């Protein structure tokens, strides 16, 4: 049995009207000093918010949620690598206020809570489900978003201390651009792109494959060389597995170098990717010693 560690957590609240004080939880952050772990999960959809608070700027909201989550990933990677004698933050609010300072904006951190955990990453997901998504409308079929799929791969990458090397990268051409949220450069940009095909029908799977192919094809004239790693989320329904395989055939038509990664190969991919980064860092250290 793994030893249990103390942790603190805080929820991120969207306060639509400071005067009335109405709010909805849109994210959660966790920090364990003992386990040297911090992380956050935030909403990337705003359907429930727009029903409660019409007029919300959806694009700005999604961008801010991605920013908060990415900043916590960066901080978490740094904390993992800190030397044992260096002073670490005492609670999650120190980290939270460093990411999003306390002010009169619509995004506010709650007072902290605390507990014990044997696995901080799993606890973060459970807190997110309990505090953020518990009251979402439930459907007969629960599909997974791209962010849900990213969390599956993220756990494996996180355990190999890869996240600190990943950064957003925007690939541009004359008339288009695509931003990848997780990329690493080694001469060529290596862009990790989670794609969920855990959808409700064959039509939606096929449409998503064609949409993704169109996006990548539009970048074929980009000046910067790049490679895409498509981190795939497979359908949970056995009836849609054949349609998923057809979607992969569509993705293979991409004119950009693309590697398709199945969920069953997430650990293998993470190991290989971590080894490539380690080799690159070692070669840089060797070059700088001359």
Count: domains in the chain:
2
Is 148 within the bounds of a domain?
A: no
Range of the domain at 223: 153-288
C-alpha 57, offset from chain centre = 21
* Residue 189 and residue 132 share a domain: no
* Residue 192 and residue 128 share a domain: no
* Residue 117 and residue 241 share a domain: no
Is 146 within the bounds of a domain?
A: no
- Tell me, what's the pLDDT at 139? 46
Burial class of residue 65 in the structure, from the number of CB atoms within 10 Å of its CB (0-12 exposed, 13-18 middle, 19+ buried): buried
Burial class of residue 233 in the structure, from the number of CB atoms within 10 Å of its CB (0-12 exposed, 13-18 middle, 19+ buried): buried
> Which letter does DSSP use for residue 162 in this model?
-
- Tell me, what's the pLDDT at 90? 86
Model pTM score: 0.66
Q: What percentage of the chain carries pLDDT values higher than 70?
A: 92
Is 38 within the bounds of a domain?
A: yes
155-169, 206-220, 273-287, range with greatest mean pLDDT: 206-220
* Residue 279 and residue 161 share a domain: yes
* Residue 18 and residue 57 share a domain: yes
Domain closes at, from 104, 138, 172: 138
The residue-averaged pLDDT of 247-253 equals 95
Domain closes at, from 138, 162, 179: 138
- Tell me, what's the pLDDT at 6? 93
SS3 content of the chain, % helix, strand, coil (to 5): 40, 25, 30
* Residue 123 and residue 165 share a domain: no
Is 147 within the bounds of a domain?
A: no
Instruction: Render pLDDT for 85-141 as a digit per residue (tens, 0 to 9).
Output: 567 888 999 999 999 988 777 889 999 999 999 888 889 989 998 998 877 655 444
* Residue 159 and residue 132 share a domain: no
Is 145 within the bounds of a domain?
A: no
> Which letter does DSSP use for residue 129 in this model?
H
């Amino acid at each position: 049995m793994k030893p249990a560690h103390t942790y603190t957590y805080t929820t991120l609240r969207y306060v639509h009207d400071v005067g009335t004080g109405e709010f909805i939880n849109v994210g959660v952050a966790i920090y364990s000093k003992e386990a040297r772990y911090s992380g956050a999960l935030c909403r990337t959809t705003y359907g429930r918010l727009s029903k409660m608070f019409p007029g919300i700027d959806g694009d700005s909201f999604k961008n801010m949620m991605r920013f908060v989550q990415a900043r916590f990933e960066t901080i978490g990677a740094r904390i993992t690598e800190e030397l044992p004698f260096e002073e670490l933050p005492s609670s999650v609010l120190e980290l939270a206020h460093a990411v999003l300072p306390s002010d009169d904006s619509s995004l506010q951190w709650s007072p902290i809570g605390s507990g014990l955990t044997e696995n901080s990453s799993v606890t973060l997901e459970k807190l997110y489900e309990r505090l953020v998504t518990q009251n979402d409308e439930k459907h007969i079929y629960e599909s997974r978003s791209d962010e849900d799929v990213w969390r599956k791969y993220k756990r494996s990458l996180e355990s190999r201390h890869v996240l600190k090397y990943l950064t957003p990268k925007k690939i541009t051409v004359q008339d288009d651009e695509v931003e990848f949220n997780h990329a690493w450069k080694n001469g060529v940009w290596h862009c990790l792109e989670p794609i969920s095909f855990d959808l409700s029908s064959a039509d939606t799977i096929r449409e998503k494959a064609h949409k993704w192919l169109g996006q990548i094809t539009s970048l074929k004239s980009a000046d910067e060389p790049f490679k895409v790693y498509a981190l795939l989320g497979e359908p949970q329904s056995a009836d849609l597995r054949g349609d998923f395989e057809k979607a992969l055939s569509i993705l293979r038509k991409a004119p950009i170098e693309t590697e398709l990664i199945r969920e069953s190969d997430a650990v293998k991919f993470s190991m290989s990717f971590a080894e490539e980064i380690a080799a690159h860092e070692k070669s840089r250290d060797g070059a700088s010693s001359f």
